[in-house]
Structure 1
Amino acid sequence: MFRSLQTFVKKWRASRNSGHQLDALLAIADQHAQYAERSEWLIELAHWIHRGGTVQPVAQEPLADEARRQPEHTRLRYLLHVLDRNPLWKANVAGILRALLRESDGISLLCDAGMPVHSAFFGALFERFEASLIPPAPNRRDLAAIFTLMFTAAEDADWIAALPTDLLTRIRDLFTYELDSGNPREGVPFSLDLLAALHNLTCQISSTGLSQTVRSRLGDADVRVAMEKQPFYRLTRAMLALESAHQAEEAGADPGKLLHEVNYLRVLLDECRIATDNVFSHLYRNGVSVDIVFQIERMRMRIQRAEHLLDAWMASDDPHASSRLVAELVKANHASQSVAHLMRSNFSLLARKVVEYSADTGEHYIARDRAEYLKMLRMAAGGGLVTVVTVCVKFAITGAHLQTMLEGLLAGVNYAASFLLMHFLHFSLATKQPAMTAPTIARELDGAGTPEGVDSFVSSVVALIRTQAAAVFGNVMLVFPVCLGVQLLWHAVFHANIISPEKAHATLHSFSLIGPTPFYAALTGVLLWSSSLLAGWADNWFVLHRVADALSYNRRLRMTLGPAGAARLANFCRSNVAGVVGNITLGLMLGLVPAIVSALAFSFEVRHVTLSAGSIGVALGVLGSSALDLPEFWWAIAGVCSMAILNVAVSFALAFHMAVRSRDLRRNYVRSLRGAIWRRVFQQPLDLVWPVNARPAHPDRVQ
């Protein structure tokens, strides 16, 4: 048969008529061939069904609408029609189908298809990479392997689920065509595999649910009482009772007992699903672990699969139940091969947790009234004052002409120290805010389904734009003149410049709008957004591992600082861990990433609006008033303006996109709000730069 299959492939490539291809394929069907050859034949048949091509219309079945909507249904009808006209071909095809069901491991398909085998996230990730490189071989006696090779597209689930009743009936009749009733192996019912797979799944669900990972997050104080009440504890016994009722019914007992056990098992599966939701809620409140999310997500998939199997087993006479089960298996099997699906399903909760931390923090950086607006200006001015020292130290580091990586490390330490000082002095750096405030705006989308919600959302967007403008203005308007004054004072006292005139000209030229400055500014925005992610991750890690409790009850700390002092230290760490991690990582990234990228890929320099404005102030002090007549000075000013826009826009856009994706909001829904924002801008343009409508201040909002 193997040579015949090779001959068929050659004929298929030479023929464009789908009907001739099918005839050639059916002619070589042999139910007595080796297992691998029968598997390959069935795979080719499945590919013929969904590969396309034209077939001759079947007499008395002119379903033109179906051909346009579901061409696979038309080809299935044609296949069954050809088999009805050729009894020998039909007997071979039916024999192949029954033999594959009999000789293959069906539990692997029903129970494991679409389920990750490994118990940890990174093991499953490696498993999917490996599966994409090494597809399963058709000689494996495994229905899941044949399934994977037969249905290679996720769209196959749609046409399988939509199969009409008459086609499903004819397909079922094909399986029983010329069934040898004298051979007991021929008539082994597939329902036994369904029951065995259901037993397997309930054991796996119960084992995961009773593990310490899940049990410790169910929230019950009395563990012993809670164990007896948990649905995971009762699930295995309910499955055993169902199997006993099934055996009793086959022996002629009351069938009502079986229905009662089935309903009880359904109730327990529902309770298990509710318990998994409670675990997700606990994780969201107390810190997210990707490995724990992976295990809970896999358990939820098993619960859903068990319900599908139970439905198909109870409705064994309904062909649509079987088609729905097959469609679900195809969809799950295809999703199990997608790395993107694995990342999305397991990182979504962590992303939402990180986004929510940013949203809570970002609320403090949106000035909604005049008092908050003036406070933001003062905070930004303080941030600009600290940046003056940062700029001077940066020029000292670059003037030492050190090795690139060492210079980048020292620059990163300089930036990190400055950002930490701003954090503890409650000053503000303008470009750090967009990545924090974007999730706050996205969270308000949840209530934008009403006119009041739309108005609140638009007001928040306008307040955000106004606040960012105030922060940039406060930073730049202080750092530029103070840096200029520091250079003039330095020259008057020491009769020397902070940088040489050549370095001043090079600084102005490097900031020019004509050149890579916009590109560098956009990449700097990516670094600003990345630091907000790391800050959210640090906050999640601190809560997940209960570091605050460990500090509060640490014996040495309590002996040294006292119980109250240890508690104050724990609260201080809890309040500042995210800010410290975010500021340190941002500073190190601004110093080291350009050095690493320049060494490995392409030339890259940080273009931060506040730091660059201070650098221009120093350069202007060195060159004097004659620099005002230089085109490169004004091109550098234009470049700083582009930095202000791109630093803010890129970091905000990335954070907002992540926030929207974490909340499963539709793009059309978000896009419909743009008109409301533009209407507010045209109606009240002054509101973009100054709070027109004074509202009661919230002192705790801007900190």
Structure 2
Amino acid sequence: MKFFNSGTHFQSVLKKYFSFRNETSSLEPLAEFLESIKESDFTEVLNFFRENQETTENFKYYIHHIFEGKPFNLSLTEANILSENAFFPELKKRVLNKILPPVVNEKTVWYLIDNVSLRPKKDLKYLHNLPENEINEFFKIAGISDFILKPNVKREMLFAMNILSWRVTGAAMEVEVVRMAPEYKNFDNPFLALQNELEDLAEECKLNPEIQLNSKDSRYKQIKIYIEQSLDFVSIAFKNSSKYGISGKINQSLLKIRQQLQRIFEIAQLLVIDDEQDVLIKSKQLIFNVLSYKSHRNNISELINDSTRLISHLITNHTAETGTHYITSTRKEYMTMFYKASGGGIIVGALCVLKMLYGYIPGSDFSHAFLYSMNYAMGFVMIYLMGFTLATKQPAMTAATMTKILSEEGNNRSNYVEFAHLVSKLFRSQFIAFVGNVVLSFPIALLIIYGLDVFFSQNLAVDRSDKLLMDLDPFKSKAILHASIAGFYLFISGIISGNIGNNSVFYQIPERIAKNFSIRRVLGKKFAKGLSKYYAKNWPGIVSNFWFGVFLGATAPIGLFFGLDLDIRHITFAAGNFAIGLYGKDFSVDSYTFWLSFITVFLIGFFNFLVSFTLSMFLAFRSRKLNFGQVSMIYKEIFKYFVKHPLKFFFPLRSGLDKKADALMSSTMTTKSGDH
């Protein structure tokens, strides 16, 4: 269809097409008319119709003629409803539809809407902004004020409701979906009851096309009850996802079922007529609904938001359980964190030297990527299994815990003070972990490189010292960018941990191990049970630490291969590399280089923490639907608390708020363990 001139005056358009009985099926007259009235005062349009009765009758005839016999059930059953049972196929389909709109049957209302309106959202907004009395009068002029009463319209709506109920019932009967809501096993299935009720109503409409529902009608009440029960089934299934885990496919299926149930309810409400004025209201609402559904049919952002919110909630739920172990309350816990971080620092110090030595091995970029990745991965897994701590692994875990506690506490300002106190506990935990990592990684790296020098009578750090020290110069290198990349990887490793934990629960891996016949027969029941517990407790951490190591080790070689200046900077490794760089220079560096490198080590730690924690908090806030408008108030309260109690952000000083904070942490753990 050719583009029309938006500046065309509505009077000339009406005279051009409707000064006679226009029997064309072309959509051009309607398209030009709708575009022309946007440039005019709508009151003038109505006045013209009032004063030109013949034109009005011809316009009305044309409207009825082009819509006559054209079904619109697709606009109710397909538009703005998930069509695929998995996220990526749905995303692919929507992207394709955006780029190349699908071919639509020309004898449907779906086709008419697509070809009359180039900007459905803006057109719908224009109609909504018109005065109520004017839009009502226009509906009467167009002869569609009683649209909802027409037998063919009711048949289309009932047919759409039945299609949706058949689809809902089929999806809800899937074994994995039923497993999500075992509470309903002892109840009559609401989906089947809803389907039967809608089928009976459709049969009754065939026998009596003039049938009309009202709000007191027992059939409408019964349909409403079954829809509510079915939606309750979906809500329980989503709620149980923290117990049983959930897959992307089941998440998408439940979202689709909920959308279809809500659409059935919206259609059912339109069929309810209690008095004469409801006829116009419901007729108008039906048309507006169809336009609204069509305007959102390929919305990609809505798909991403709906499909990922629950998964992100589950991921943060699993990391929240781990996060409680990273926040210290007492002096004993504070010192324990220091000792654990010191252990992590010892291992990282050794990893720094190993990476330097691997760099001397001749090979391709990818062979070095493999060596560096395995070096980091095995080291991080060792740190995890030995119960040590890598400082910057904390934010991805603790952010979820903080947000969970905040969401459970509510939005009162008094709670923000308690939250600020909790932040101080997190900050001092992170601070002492930083100290433990750095204090040990520096001397251990120095001791090992010295030992190698004594053993081989060669300073192996000489060739690498210039680069190592330059990497700690934020003015001559991209140290801050590379620290931010490491922070992003820390965030991703937290995602992996939560996702593995969710999948472990959903697929019942620990239970499968404990009850595996082969393991029990060969190694015994006790071993199978112990392996099951070990897997449930440690596997998410092992996998996330392994991949974190792979990310860190592979970034620089892959960046080099593609000609990109990509690398990572991590505070603990920066401290170890600082030691190696100084030893390679025989400690002969000027004070500017020394102090700049020293400060940059902690600057790197700050950006590791900032990026990881910010992304984790964003995910956690989003997953729990918290209001981002509260953030500024929370930050103000944290700042006030810091000004008032600065030492609490660095040392374990107890106060009256500690009992409350400890109770919050305890309740978080109790809730989580109770779920299982």
> Is the counterpart of residue 233 in structure 1 residue 192 in structure 2?
yes
Q: Distance in 2 between matches of 1:610 and 1:483?
A: 11
Kept in 1, the 8 Å contact 2:353–2:449? The answer is no
Change over 3 Å in CA distance of 1:255–1:112 after alignment to 2? closer
> Is the counterpart of residue 284 in structure 1 residue 242 in structure 2?
yes
From 304, 315, 328, the equivalent of 1:343 is 304
Which residue identity is paired with 2:190? Answer: P
1:327 Cα shift? 3.3
From 166, 171, 176, the equivalent of 2:143 is 176
Q: Distance in 1 between matches of 2:228 and 2:377?
A: 50
Give the 3-state SS of the residue equivalent to 1:409 in structure 2: helix
1:239 Cα shift? 1.4
Kept in 2, the 8 Å contact 1:160–1:324? The answer is no
Q: Distance in 2 between matches of 1:193 and 1:110?
A: 9
From 596, 600, 618, the equivalent of 1:635 is 596
> Is the counterpart of residue 463 in structure 1 residue 425 in structure 2?
yes
1:71 is matched with which residue?
A: none
Q: Distance in 2 between matches of 1:29 and 1:141?
A: 24
> Is the counterpart of residue 32 in structure 1 residue 20 in structure 2?
no
Kept in 1, the 8 Å contact 2:214–2:220? The answer is no
1:558 is matched with which residue?
A: 520
Change over 3 Å in CA distance of 1:17–1:107 after alignment to 2? closer
2:401 is matched with which residue?
A: 440
Deviations 1:40-77 (A, max 9, x none): 4334444445xx43x3xxxxxxxxxxxxxxxxxx53x4
Instruction: Map 1:154-553 onto structure 2 (within 5 A).
Output: 154=121, 156-158=123-125, 160=127, 165-176=132-143, 189-220=152-183, 226=187, 229-246=188-205, 259-315=217-273, 317-446=278-407, 447-499=409-461, 501-514=462-475, 515-553=477-515
Change over 3 Å in CA distance of 1:580–1:187 after alignment to 2? closer
Change over 3 Å in CA distance of 1:357–1:216 after alignment to 2? closer
Q: Distance in 2 between matches of 1:29 and 1:679?
A: 75
Change over 3 Å in CA distance of 1:114–1:45 after alignment to 2? farther
Kept in 2, the 8 Å contact 1:435–1:651? The answer is yes
Q: Distance in 2 between matches of 1:29 and 1:680?
A: 77
Q: Distance in 2 between matches of 1:601 and 1:28?
A: 69
1:197 Cα shift? 1.6
Which residue identity is paired with 2:583? Answer: G
Q: Distance in 2 between matches of 1:337 and 1:159?
A: 21
Change over 3 Å in CA distance of 1:156–1:33 after alignment to 2? closer
Q: Distance in 2 between matches of 1:246 and 1:138?
A: 29
Q: Distance in 2 between matches of 1:21 and 1:569?
A: 82
1:649 is matched with which residue?
A: 610
Q: Distance in 2 between matches of 1:251 and 1:109?
A: 23
1:533 Cα shift? 0.8
Kept in 2, the 8 Å contact 1:387–1:479? The answer is yes
Deviations 1:144-170 (A, max 9, x none): 233345273545555545665533542
Which residue identity is paired with 1:41? Answer: P
Kept in 1, the 8 Å contact 2:79–2:296? The answer is no
1:487 Cα shift? 2.4
Give the 3-state SS of the residue equivalent to 1:496 in structure 2: coil
2:62 is matched with which residue?
A: 96
1:349 Cα shift? 0.4
Give the 3-state SS of the residue equivalent to 2:182 in structure 1: coil
Q: Distance in 2 between matches of 1:213 and 1:553?
A: 20
Change over 3 Å in CA distance of 1:28–1:589 after alignment to 2? farther
Deviations 1:190-211 (A, max 9, x none): 2222222222222222222223
Q: How many residues align?
A: 655
From 119, 140, 150, the equivalent of 1:152 is 119
Query: With structure 1 as the length reference, what TM-score do the two structures score?
Result: 0.86
Change over 3 Å in CA distance of 1:658–1:647 after alignment to 2? same
1:305 Cα shift? 1.1
Kept in 1, the 8 Å contact 2:464–2:584? The answer is no
Which residue identity is paired with 2:506? Answer: L
Kept in 1, the 8 Å contact 2:365–2:560? The answer is no
1:182 is matched with which residue?
A: none
Kept in 2, the 8 Å contact 1:513–1:638? The answer is no
Q: Distance in 2 between matches of 1:29 and 1:568?
A: 87
Change over 3 Å in CA distance of 1:386–1:187 after alignment to 2? closer
Query: With structure 2 as the length reference, what TM-score do the two structures score?
Result: 0.90
Deviations 1:210-245 (A, max 9, x none): 232322322058x5x54xx01012112111332355
Gaps of 5+ in 1: 56-73, 180-185
Which residue identity is paired with 2:502? Answer: N
1:389 Cα shift? 1.4
Which residue identity is paired with 1:322? Answer: S
Which moves more between the two structures, 655-664 or 327-336? 327-336
Change over 3 Å in CA distance of 1:453–1:124 after alignment to 2? same
Give the 3-state SS of the residue equivalent to 1:318 in structure 2: helix
Instruction: Map 1:31-180 onto structure 2 (within 5 A).
Output: 31-34=22-25, 37-38=26-27, 40-49=28-37, 52-53=38-39, 55=40, 74-75=41-42, 77-135=43-101, 140-149=106-115, 150=117, 152-154=119-121, 156-158=123-125, 160=127, 165-176=132-143
Give the 3-state SS of the residue equivalent to 2:524 in structure 1: helix
1:406 Cα shift? 1.0
Q: Distance in 1 between matches of 2:210 and 2:480?
A: 80
Deviations 1:521-559 (A, max 9, x none): 111111111111111111111111111121111110011
1:20 Cα shift? 5.7
Give the 3-state SS of the residue equivalent to 1:202 in structure 2: helix
Which residue identity is paired with 2:617? Answer: F
Gaps of 5+ in 2: 670-676
1:187 Cα shift? 7.0
Which residue identity is paired with 1:621? Answer: Y
Change over 3 Å in CA distance of 1:156–1:456 after alignment to 2? farther
Q: Distance in 2 between matches of 1:269 and 1:19?
A: 45
2:573 is matched with which residue?
A: 611
Q: Distance in 1 between matches of 2:421 and 2:153?
A: 61
Change over 3 Å in CA distance of 1:160–1:566 after alignment to 2? farther
> Is the counterpart of residue 573 in structure 1 residue 531 in structure 2?
no
1:643 Cα shift? 0.6
Q: Distance in 1 between matches of 2:654 and 2:287?
A: 60
Q: Distance in 1 between matches of 2:587 and 2:353?
A: 21
Q: Distance in 2 between matches of 1:522 and 1:330?
A: 45
Kept in 2, the 8 Å contact 1:463–1:688? The answer is yes
Change over 3 Å in CA distance of 1:164–1:322 after alignment to 2? farther
Change over 3 Å in CA distance of 1:575–1:512 after alignment to 2? same
Identity of aligned residues (%): 21
1:438 Cα shift? 1.1
Change over 3 Å in CA distance of 1:46–1:130 after alignment to 2? farther
1:258 Cα shift? 8.9
1:135 Cα shift? 2.7
Give the 3-state SS of the residue equivalent to 2:588 in structure 1: helix
Which residue identity is paired with 2:173? Answer: L
Give the 3-state SS of the residue equivalent to 1:606 in structure 2: coil
